[in-house]
């Protein structure tokens, strides 16, 4: 298990050294400045990791079904996009578009004028929350609005949601209505911005899904459910990672407004998410811990709800991270208990292979269909 985290640990050491050097350079070379930067980078890394526990589980649930070539590409190119694209380029593009300046000027503002950079990105919060919240809400609802799911964790909630799948485009309808209702929490230009951003998130999710189907990225598994493979799965995961990173990028300003330090700290978290994803697939935990995946999608819906409500309510990032961690922790505990009670349901029934960037082939062990009378409903 630990060897899956060697790369993340090495990256963390390098990132902390760079953070210390940044403090040394910016603040006259004092030991206090270096220690402060090390502390802030560590806090950012912990915050991003805690906020992304559900991201790792969902990534693993999609990754284990992907073509080995695209698995490797996501674990290499994908992490570069996650660390540098979303943690550095994305905030600069926000500044460029919001302030109507060139990307070069936006870069200068981000590096040289931290207060102006923070002000511009923070003002874009309503739009970011609308887009990211809508996209993540659809990710969560599409999981639960599925009549073909074999295993339910909270049956009293999930069975009615599954029945709504009979209505065409039901996840999109629910999300659009939610965006429309929440738009009344803000007024004027902010209301317009939220509506446009939220509906753009809905449209983007639909486009990504359809594009994945068009290029052959959607296939069916043994249950008849659609799984993402190949280029379609890669694109879907990149948009998913982007949506997860929105709250971290905005939340980082509660700690610092230094873009370089934010990139280093959030990059540490992104690397640990990658390691957790590999560990989950390599260990076959999604199959052995039956309700862990459902817990992750509940956490996604909780995160999406918090993002959408943040247009009016300020919810500290520590609360957001704790909610996700608690939901996943409870689902893990319930999964372990269920495995002890019904070990016969976890017999091996074929392996789903994953090829890691090193070329090593590992496998995930899906479960056999559960007997209906042994389904765990709470």
Rounded to 5°, the CA angle 238-243-247 comes to: 140
Q: How high is the pLDDT of residue 296? A: 84
Does residue 323 or residue 52 have the better pLDDT?
Answer: 323
Average confidence (pLDDT) over 321-344: 84
Cα dihedral sign, 183-239-275-295: positive
Does residue 372 or residue 144 have the better pLDDT?
Answer: 144
Give which of 4, 13, 6, 12 is closest to 60, Cα–Cα.
Answer: 4
Q: How high is the pLDDT of residue 346? A: 64
| pTM attached to this predicted model | 0.74
- pLDDT winner (highest mean) among 72-76, 232-236, 302-306: 302-306
**pLDDT for 65 beyond 90:** no
Q: How high is the pLDDT of residue 174? A: 93
Residues 6+ apart with CB under 8 A from 126: 186, 190, 193, 194, 197, 311
User: pLDDT band at residue 51, thresholds of 50, 70 and 90?
Assistant: confident
Q: What is the pLDDT of residues 255-308, one digit of tens each?
A: 788 888 888 888 888 888 888 888 877 766 666 777 888 888 898 898 889 889
Rounded to 5°, the CA angle 178-297-235 comes to: 85
Cβ–Cβ under 8 Å, residues 273 and 57:
no
**pLDDT for 149 beyond 80:** no
């Amino acid at each position: 298990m630990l060897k899956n985290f060697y790369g993340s640990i090495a990256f963390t050491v390098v990132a902390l050294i760079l953070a210390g050097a940044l403090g040394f350079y910016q603040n006259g070379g004092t030991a206090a400045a270096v220690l402060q930067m090390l502390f802030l980078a560590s806090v950012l890394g912990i915050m991003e990791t805690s906020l992304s526990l559900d991201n790792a589980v969902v990534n693993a649930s999609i990754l284990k079904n992907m073509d080995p070539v695209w698995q490797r590409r996501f674990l290499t190119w994908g992490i570069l996009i996650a660390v540098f694209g979303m943690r550095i380029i994305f905030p600069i593009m926000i500044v460029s578009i919001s302030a109507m300046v060139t990307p070069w000027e936006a870069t200068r503002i981000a590096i040289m004028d931290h207060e102006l950079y923070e002000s511009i990105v923070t003002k874009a919060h309503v739009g970011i929350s609308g887009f990211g919240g809508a996209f993540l809400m659809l990710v969560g609802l599409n999981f639960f609005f599925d009549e073909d799911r074999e295993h339910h964790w909270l049956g009293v909630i999930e069975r009615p949601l599954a029945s709504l799948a009979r209505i065409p485009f039901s996840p999109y309808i629910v999300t659009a209505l939610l965006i429309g209702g929440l738009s009344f929490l803000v007024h004027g230009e902010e209301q317009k911005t939220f509506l446009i951003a939220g509906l753009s998130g809905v449209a983007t999710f639909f486009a990504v899904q359809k594009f994945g189907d068009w290029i052959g990225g959607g296939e069916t598994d043994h249950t008849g459910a659609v799984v993402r493979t190949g280029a379609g799965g890669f694109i879907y995961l990149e948009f998913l990672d982007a949506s997860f990173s929105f709250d971290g990028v905005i939340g980082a300003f509660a700690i610092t407004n230094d873009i370089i330090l934010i990139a280093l700290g959030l990059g540490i978290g992104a690397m640990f998410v990658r390691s957790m994803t590999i560990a989950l697939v390599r260990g076959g935990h999604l199959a052995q811990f039956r309700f862990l995946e459902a817990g992750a999608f509940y956490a996604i819906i909780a995160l999406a709800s918090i993002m959408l409500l943040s247009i009016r309510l300020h919810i500290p990032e520590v609360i957001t991270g704790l909610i996700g961690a608690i939901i996943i922790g409870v689902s893990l505990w319930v999964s372990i208990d269920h495995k002890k009670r019904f070990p016969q349901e976890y017999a091996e029934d074929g392996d789903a292979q994953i090829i890691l960037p090193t070329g090593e082939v590992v496998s995930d062990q899906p479960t056999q269909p559960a007997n209906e009378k042994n389904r765990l409903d709470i």
